[in-house]
Amino acid sequence: MKEFTAVILAAGEGVRMKSNIPKVMHKVCGKPMLTHVINAAKGAGANKVIIVVGKDADKIKEAYINEDVEFVIQEKQMGTGHALMQAENAVKNSSHIVVLCGDMPLVTAESIKGMVDFHEKEMADATVMTAKVSDPTGYGRIIREGKKVLDIREHKDATPEELKINEVNAAFYCFNTVDIFASLAKIQNDNSQKEYYLTDAIKILNQEDKKVVAFELSDPEELNGINDRKQLAKVQSIMQKRIIDKLMEDGVTFINPDTCMVDCDVKIGKDTTIYPGAMLEGSTTIGENCSIIGPCRIIDTTIGNDCEIVMTQINKCVIEDGVKIGPYTNLRPDCRLSQKVKVGDFVELKNAKVGEGTKIPHLSYVGDAVLGKHINIGCGTVFVNYDGYKKHQTVVEDNVFIGCNSNLIAPVTLKAGSFIAAGSTITDDVPENALGIARARQVNKTGWVIKRKQKFEGGISGNGNQA
């Protein structure tokens, strides 16, 4: 396969999106639609990627400041042909270019590579990617003889006979660089939109006896572009199905795939079961033989093998093997749960390192803490980490028992084997194997209730006020 430069047209204004976000930056399965097209081009073997931008160019360029791509500006949006003209200097050292659309993220690396290979095999000057669709309304029709493309007829210009053609232009092309820019120099904007259309270059190439061929897509779903929110949702649905189907092929069970959301970079091991309502986002990785049960949201998190996660939110955490979490648990960023940890219902963790076998069963807050192994944290325990100005750390060593309704006022350390009496507010370090108790002594006042009733139910109180 010959080396090629990819030119991605991304200068459209995206008016129908009705958004302050550039159209090509709207996300599909966790990534901007433009990113999907860039990745497809690179996956197909592009040695250089040029992006033509217009409105909101600065926002788009900023988003890709660390990416290996280049930008050219289309100051005025004057059609697809005009957009490609802006890239002429950027691609002048490339013998071949592939033209892609930044708002068509379903195109695959395999399809692009197939088109380039076909272009080379046919020794073509231009190759047009096409597809046969059930409803060609609105698409440019492919007029051809055998492999040779004679013209691309826009829907509004087609004759009744041509409107019956169901092979349409996919808007992806492979060109010999010199030939396409020579043709672009000759196209006119004598149309109702006063724009320079890239498709007009196909007619010129034919007039000059250049070889223009059609490469037919095997999956016409790749033609779906995005101009509004409905189309965004449709493309999201198609890509989501691709992702989940691939995971199921690799040994993952989805009880009801239609109810789940899985981003494109999510990885899941075999024999893991995903129950309805799961939202798996970002770079989340889930190991083998896990159960993700109920409406869970898991973001940029690594989960080991044999874990059970029930109706929980987890964000940027590391979960080791054999951990059980939930229901109704919130793990905020920078938590690390070691093997066989249990975190139960209505527990919130933040920046907490939890050692092997430790249990935080219910109704507790653990923030800015380092917990050792085999600790039991009673119901209602609060790690008091914030003094109004700074966060402070609590350290709990191995085999500590913390009674219910305890407050640990950071910074504080509970040494190995210590025991915290229920209801204590701990402000000082507790030594190894010691009992920490910090609560007022109970006092029982005999007969107090009877005296109170007599005071308030007897009419006038002793100080002259009415009860």
Looking at residue 46, its amino acid is A
Other CB atoms within 10 Å distance of the CB of residue 205: 23
Ranges in the chain, pLDDT < 50: 460-467
| Cis upstream peptide for 411 (omega within 30°) | yes
The whole-angstrom separation of Cα 121 and Cα 217 is 16
CB 343 within 8 A of CB 322: no
pTM metric for this prediction: 0.91
74 assigned to a ligand binding site:
yes
- pLDDT score, position 457: 87
Task: Name the 3-class secondary structure at 109.
Answer: helix
- Spatial neighbors of 101 by CB under 8 A, at least 6 apart, are 8, 9, 10, 37, 171, 172, 225
Cα-based distances in Å from 407 to 127, 229, 365, 401, 424: 71, 49, 10, 13, 6
The verdict on whether residue 441 carries a ligand-binding annotation is no
Q: What pLDDT, on a 0 to 100 scale, did the predictor assign at position 464?
A: 45
Q: Is 304 annotated as a binding residue?
A: no
Q: What is the pLDDT of residues 341-364, one digit of tens each?
A: 999 999 999 999 999 999 999 999
Q: Rounded distance, CA 352 to CA 372, Å?
A: 11
Q: Give the pLDDT confidence score for residue 1 in this predicted structure.
A: 60
Structural domains of the chain sorted by starting position, each given as residue range(s) with its CATH number in brackets: 5-223 (3.90.550.10), 229-436 (2.160.10.10)
Confirm whether residue 329 is marked as ligand binding. no
Residue 357 annotated as part of some ligand binding site = no
Nearest C-alpha neighbor of 204 from the set 158, 150, 154, 159: 150
Catalytic residue positions, numbered = 362
Q: How far apart are CA 227 and CA 104, in angstroms?
A: 10
111-143 pLDDT per residue, tens: 999 999 999 999 999 999 999 999 999 899 999
Is there a contact between 96 and 62 (Cβ–Cβ < 8 Å)?
Answer: no
Q: How far, in whole angstroms, is CA 466 from its chain's centroid?
A: 67
Give pLDDT, residue 192.
Answer: 73
According to the annotation, is 23 in a ligand binding site?
Answer: yes
